[in-house]
Chains A and B, each alone.
Chain A
């Protein structure tokens, strides 16, 4: 276990997230992929704090994830509320059938 292994893990997880974001057609599945990418970012934060050189401020490695998690929760709450409202109105969650949203 070293820094490069942790960073490689998070890079692979991030690329899974991008793959999911590009290939999924349901909005909820795309949100799930975004969640994976944010998780990869969290792994980076913690890994950099753990392998920080002497004299570095390692508390930030625990504080930055608080902000990431809070913003993610806010984003998820609003996005899922929009999805539920949209489904109630149109019975569609496939993004390729929501093209008329920009009209």
Chain B
């Protein structure tokens, strides 16, 4: 998109939404609320991708992340924590170490970032079309991504089968469970 005042304003609006929702997602006590804040953060990111001329990535963000992963997280929250209300506070030491580590990483990255040299948009750039993405993914030459594409499909299939196997409800006492805490079948 052309760099105009409108895109600047939109960029800062989306940035504010992303950062606000991101901060909420890691600080809010109720886990369900933080999952919804993550949803807002991902929506803001999708808007940013539209602003940066990557419509395909924006659509994928909405379909897969918001429609799939976040809904999945919400299901897991509802299944495990009684509406996510029980809050577990972290120790002060963990807070200090978390803030310190985040500040160190932020300082390092912000120290490196301004040294990026190509900061102007290439004037005769063209937006990537979905056709081009499809051809590149199925291109078997050294320029294409055929093998990673196939590997990722096998990975997804095995992850799905593995997840279904792990989460399958086991009959109490039918397997080799050795925990002496007696937490099963309650």
Contact = CB atoms under 8 A, between A and B. Distances in A.
Contacts of A31: 73
Contacts of A83: 76, 80
A39 to B, nearest CB: 6
Contacts of B128: 49, 58-59, 61-62
> A7, A80, A83: which has the most chain B beta carbons within 10 Å?
A80
Contacts of B98: 18-23
Nearest to A90: B183
B133 A80 contact: no
Nearest to B143: A57
B81 A93 contact: yes
A13 B148 CA distance: 28
Given A7-B113, A12-B19, A74 B155 contact: yes
A18 B105 contact: yes
A33 B183 CA distance: 29
A69 B64 contact: yes
A91 interface: yes
Nearest to B51: A1
A89 to B, nearest CB: 6
Interface residues of A, number: 75
Contacts of B26: 16-17, 19-20, 23-24, 29, 32-33, 36
B54 A50 contact: yes
Nearest to B181: A90
Contact of A20 (B25, B118, B145, B163): B25
A13 B97 CA distance: 18
Contacts of B64: 69, 73
Contact of B57 (A3, A11, A46): A46
B44 to A, nearest CB: 10
B3 interface: yes
23 contacts: A1-B7, A8-B110, A11-B106, A14-B106, A18-B102, A22-B98, A26-B88, A29-B31, A35-B65, A42-B45, A49-B54, A51-B119, A61-B54, A63-B145, A65-B57, A70-B152, A73-B156, A80-B72, A80-B163, A83-B80, A89-B179, A90-B183, A93-B81
Interface of A: 1-9, 11-26, 28-29, 31-33, 35-36, 39, 42-43, 46-47, 49-54, 56, 58-59, 61-63, 65-67, 69-78, 80-85, 87-91, 93-94
